[in-house]
Amino acid sequence: MVSCVYFGQIGKEDAERLLERHGKDGSFLLRDSQSVSGALCLCVRKAPFVHTYRIEHSSLGWAVETINRKKPQWFQSLDELLECYRRHTPGHMVPLLYPLEKANLHTEDRPSPAAKQAYMEM
């Protein structure tokens, strides 16, 4: 599942735009965190917002950061984390209902690294 919903190094605004354009309440994707190296962000749409949850990785595995610093639930893989939260979403999170799969998006809708290129040699 992770490979289907992982969008890599797209920014927060690009993730929000994708979820707003192609998603519905409960649609989600994963992206790299822009502020914490090695962390991921789980972005979930619940109109009128896109909620973002940071996923951290350590020797214990993968866990969603908790707001009130409660002890997080650790998983051995990202797939396990996503599947568990799809079946039973904690009360502080928006339910994960619909994976926003990259393969289902048109190529022109996906942000590309080349789009940020400002210099072109002729």
What's 55's domain CATH number? 3.30.505.10
How far apart (Å, rounded) are the C-alpha atoms in residues 32 and 7?
8
pLDDT tens for each residue of 78-122: 999 999 999 998 888 899 999 999 888 865 454 555 444 444 444
Give a yes or no: residue 121 inside a domain: no
Quote the pLDDT of residue 23. Answer: 95
CB contact at 8 A, 81 and 62 = yes
Any idea which of 5-9, 66-70, 77-81 has the lowest mean pLDDT?
66-70
Q: Which range marks the domain in which residue 54 is found?
A: 2-116
Quote the pLDDT of residue 106. Answer: 62
Element (H, E) at 75: none
**Interacting residues of 62 by C-beta distance below 8 A, sequence separation 6+:** 55, 56, 74, 75, 76, 77, 78, 80, 81
How far apart (Å, rounded) are the C-alpha atoms in residues 81 and 85?
6
pLDDT tens for each residue of 19-59: 999 999 999 999 999 999 999 999 999 999 999 999 999 99
